[in-house]
């Protein structure tokens, strides 16, 4: 699956989101912003996104209210809420 598949799949399920609140979040904030734009463009009204993604949230809050690790797209593979690399947690 790639992000280019998101708009047509979202359109197929548009009615599932009618009247609901949707929160979009991702690692760095780019894909979730694009997703939120697509949702609003097809008429989903209550769409919010985590500005800057999970990594920005970690920077600003120290990971308050977050459980688990966050997958990242570099050699670290995953980071904890304090932004320290987590090794051996994920396998390719």
- 70 annotated active-site: no
Report which DSSP code applies to 75.
T
From 26, 32, 35, 36, active-site residue = 26
What contacts 18, CB < 8 A, 6 or more positions away? 44
* CA 25 – CA 35 distance, rounded (Å): 9
Provide the annotated active-site residues.
Answer: 26
């Amino acid at each position: 699956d790639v992000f280019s598949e998101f708009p047509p799949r979202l359109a197929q399920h548009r009615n599932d989101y009618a009247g609901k609140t949707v929160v979009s979040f991702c690692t760095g904030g780019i894909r979730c912003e694009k997703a939120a734009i697509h949702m609003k463009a097809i008429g989903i009204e209550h769409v919010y996104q985590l500005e800057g993604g999970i990594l920005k949230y970690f920077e600003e809050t120290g990971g308050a209210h977050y459980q688990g690790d966050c997958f990242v797209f570099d050699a670290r593979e995953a980071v904890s809420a304090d932004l320290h690399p987590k090794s051996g947690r994920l396998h390719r």
